[in-house]
Amino acid sequence: MYTNVCKHCHKVFSSRLKAYACDDCKEIDVDHFNDIEAYLKEYPNSNALQISDALGITAYEVLNYLKEGRLNISRGHLEQL
């Protein structure tokens, strides 16, 4: 069992796998990720600040998806903030 902390509400919860969002916030996490993914399909060379400004999601959260391995850099590089 893993003891996790939700990245949205900061609630501590246990799960069998490493998780970044609790059951209550999982829908928020999926919605944010889908919004980022759709934005990157339309604007493929965007950086974290551009995504943040366009979607109202913090740049820190965008970079966390990259760190979690959910977003990948396919061409070029990610510019530093």
Q: Mutual orientation of helices 48-55 and 26-42 as an angle, nearest 10°?
A: 110
Q: Is residue 20 part of a domain?
A: no
pLDDT at 59 (0 to 100): 92
Residue 22, number of CB atoms within 10 A of its CB: 20
Domains in the chain, number: 1
| 15 domain residue, yes or no | no
Regions of the chain with pLDDT less than 70 = 73-81
- Look at residue 7 and tell me if it is in a domain: no
Q: Determine the pLDDT at residue 49.
A: 93
What is the domain extent for residue 51? Answer: 25-72
Does residue 18 lie within any of the structural domains? no
Q: Give the per-residue pLDDT at 77.
A: 55
Is residue 8 a part of any domain in this protein?
no
HEC secondary structure over the chain = CEEEECCCCCCEEEECCCCCCCCCCHHHHHHHHHHHHHHHHHCCCCCHHHHHHHHCCCHHHHHHHHHHCCCCCCCCCCCCC
Domain-located, residue 2: no
